[in-house]
Structure 1
């Protein structure tokens, strides 16, 4: 398994001989609802869009997961697997092969990768977006992704999983509390799934953030404090923090269930 980080929640996953582009923000600004004065993200380093993408995987319909300027530039014939909300975004853009996955639904891509949608992040009072479990059918290697740190208890039934991509620090707003749930929730999901490797997402990369909202955001926890939590709880999970644009080749050992 090989992983390349592209800032925020954007990843290139190379698994089972397939190249999967996850929640890509690769070009332009990141602005929610055209409210640049409230929040605006800018990449400090422009990188080329990866070539030979086999699949686009979208967990949410919000701009930091289904980034319209990026999706406009990608080949609209690339197959897409998406949450119902994200599927609407790519369908409106004219993508030709869109598979919508609801919670606990699975899809086999090209007889190679099993993609299972699990409950992920709440967006508003009624909508819950997707997390995903990816499994290579040849090797059995598996990966779990949830970008805001919301992990449903049904994940316990899917242990063990080799790799987790999820936040490991908390991002908080006054009155609202944690909008990104890291330390405690990441520890809990590691206790459930016993991964060999965990990689942080959501709060990293070569990005400059501006806008009124930034002055109210605060963080809690660090990678080092999370490593200490793992050690305290006798977990051997390795924390890897790839730099933006850096490909990480994971040397994973076969896991034994039970």
Structure 2
């Protein structure tokens, strides 16, 4: 399994013979509703769009996961697997091969890759977006991704999972509470899935931030705190902080083929 963190929530995943682009933000600014006064993020370094993408995987329909300027730049013929809200976005942009996954549903490339949608982050009063469990059907390695730290107890049925990509910080707004739950939530999901490796996401990268919202956000925790929490609970899971845009092979113990 090879991974590349592309800043923020964006990842390049090489698994099951597929090159997967996950929640890509690759061009332009990142804003919500074009409200730059509220929040805006930009890249410090211009980046090229990765080549030879086999699949786009989208967990949410919000701009920091289904980034419209990026999706407009990508080839509309690339297959997309998406949450129902994200599927609406790419269909409106003209993508021709869109698979919508509700919770519990699975997308499979026979003898290569399986992607299962699991409950993820709540959006609004009723909607719950997707997390994903990806499995390499050749060597059995697996990965779980949820970008806001909302982990469903149903994950217990999928244990063990080798790699967890999720926030390891808490990001709080006064009076509203945590918008990202990365400390206790990550410890809990580690206890459920018993991963070999945890990788943080939603933690910035080679990017800048500005806007009124920054005055109210409060971040707590980090890699040091997470390693301490894991050790206190008798877990040997490794926490790896990837360098943005540097491809690396995840250090995993060998597994038997499934």
Once the two structures are superposed, residues 158-182 of structure 1 have per-residue CA deviations (whole angstroms, 9 ceiling, x without a partner) of 1100000000010000101100000
Partner of 1:185: 185
Partner of 1:77: 77
Give 5+ residue unaligned stretches, structure 1.
none
TM-score (norm 1): 0.97
1:255: how far off?
5.4
Partner of 2:228: 228
1:30 aligns with 2:30: yes
- CA distance in structure 1 between the aligned counterparts of 2:76 and 2:222, rounded to whole angstroms: 39
Partner of 2:161: 161
Q: Aligned residue pairs: how many?
A: 256
Partner of 2:55: 55
Deviating 4+ runs (over 4 angstroms): none
Conserved 8 A contact 2:139-2:255:
no
Conserved 8 A contact 2:147-2:165:
yes
Worse overlay, 218-227 or 78-87 = 218-227
- CA distance in structure 1 between the aligned counterparts of 2:24 and 2:66, rounded to whole angstroms: 7
Partner of 1:140: 140
1:205: how far off?
0.7
1:111: how far off?
4.2
Partner of 1:125: 125
TM-score (norm 2): 0.97
Conserved 8 A contact 2:21-2:53:
yes
- CA distance in structure 2 between the aligned counterparts of 1:104 and 1:255, rounded to whole angstroms: 25
1:254: how far off?
3.9
Conserved 8 A contact 2:56-2:79:
yes
Give 5+ residue unaligned stretches, structure 2.
none
